[in-house]
Amino acid sequence: MNIVKIEKLVKRFDETVAVDRVSLEIREGEIYGLLGPNGAGKSTLINVMCGLLKKNEGSVHIFDKNIDFSMMEIKQDLGIVPQEIALYEDLTAKENVKFFASLYGLKGSVLKEKTAEALEFVGLIDHANKLARTFSGGMKRRLNIACAIAHQPKLIIMDEPTVGIDPQSRNHILNSVKKLNQLGTTVIYTTHYMEEAEFLCSRIGIIDYGKLIAEGTNQELQNLVTDRKTIVVKTSIGKTYDLRELSEIKGVLDANVKDSTVIIETLRETDAVGDIVRFFEKNELPILDIQMKNANLETIFLSLTGRKLRQ
């Protein structure tokens, strides 16, 4: 069964076409990633789906029900984690979860039980009686997730839940999403971090300027750009060198450095390896390891749009 079916969806803000004729289907049991840079239209798409914004054209079905007519019914089985944290700062963690869960009709002992379960799930059970106001950004994010899952939705929609939080909370969230999915929840996850999409998602839709420009499993997306090859060189830290010189080698599209690792995107047909090795020798940089890899999502985005994902 399709959990979500979107057809030719359009959402405009004055002249801006934030969602531009997007069609997509999400199947039961998937973690579907919507990957795209800031301003791509991810939140707008999500907000239309959840009934928070009115669309201009097209249709959205969730659980085979049209959002135009059955939003109340759909919401019963929907969990939403919005991009902006929505909590009551002067309520405790437990009171926040209880409040949101009660909106879905949970009552009495079931409410109590599901609230505790949700807090346990996001690792906040030991902080249940603390005010939300006292929480770190990462804890607030996790609490926000607890509020969205306590009623055990069939579909959970998360909008960039790891932006601006500490690595520990981030890992906790990523693992919780995986666990939720393993327990049977279908997930829609928006992000501009390709590593997250790669780690989490069974299928990924790449969105740019409101358009869904590519879609598939990681492997299927890689197959779209078979003309690219990534060369990863490990060297030692501590020496400075000019990456521009590397970018000027014939066949090199882009070069980036992260700690002691240099990541070089090249055209497959132009064999740039020899020149790359010579660059390292010339700069007296030891090559501790060199590997060739197929395209990653960053390269795929670059190849499809001519831009970097995080510009």
Catalog residues that contact Mg ion under the rule CB under 5 A: 42-43, 83
Judged by beta carbon distances under 5 to 8 A according to partner kind, the member of ligand ADP, Mg ion, none in contact with residue 16 is ligand ADP
Q: How many residues in the shown chain lie near ligand ADP by CB under 6 A?
A: 11
Taking the least distance from each CB to Mg ion, the nearer of 37 and 216 is 37
Question: Closest distance between ligand ADP and the C-beta of residue 62, in Å?
Answer: 19
Name residues whose C-beta falls within 8 Å of residue 147's C-beta, 6 or more positions apart in sequence: 86, 87, 96, 97, 99, 100, 101, 118
The CA–CA distances, whole Å, from 240 to 114, 126, 246, 259, 282 equal 55, 47, 13, 12, 13
**Cβ 230 vs Cβ 216: under 8 Å:** no
For residue 18, state whether it binds ligand ADP (rule: CB under 6 A). Answer: yes
| Shortest Å distance, C-beta 282 to ligand ADP | 42
Quick one: angle between helices 167-182 and 137-149, nearest 10? 10
Tell whether the torsion through CA atoms of 34, 40, 46 and 48 is positive or negative. Answer: negative
What's the CA gap between 106 and 95, in Å, rounded? Answer: 13
When asked if residue 216 is in the footprint of ligand ADP (CB under 6 A), the reply is: no
When asked if residue 55 is in the footprint of ligand ADP (CB under 6 A), the reply is no
Could you tell me the two tokens for 211? Answer: 């358009």
Q: Judged by CB under 6 A, does residue 36 bind ligand ADP?
A: yes
Instruction: Return the number of other C-beta atoms located less than 10 Å from residue 2's C-beta.
Output: 14
Q: In sequence order, which residues have a C-beta less than 8 Å from that of residue 219 and are 6 or more positions away?
A: none
In whole angstroms, the minimum distance from the beta carbon of 38 to Mg ion comes to 7
Q: State the nearest-atom distance from the C-beta of 67 to ligand ADP, in Å.
A: 17
Asked if 41 touches ligand ADP (CB under 6 A), the answer is yes
Phi, psi values for residue 9, rounded to 5°? -75, 135
User: Which C-beta is closer to Mg ion: that of 150 or that of 194?
Assistant: 194
Could you say which of 44, 152, 162, 185 contacts ligand ADP (CB under 6 A)? 44
Chosen from Mg ion, ligand ADP, none, partner binding at 228 (C-beta under 5 to 8 Å by type):
none
Binding site for ligand ADP (CB under 6 A): 13, 16, 18, 36, 38-44
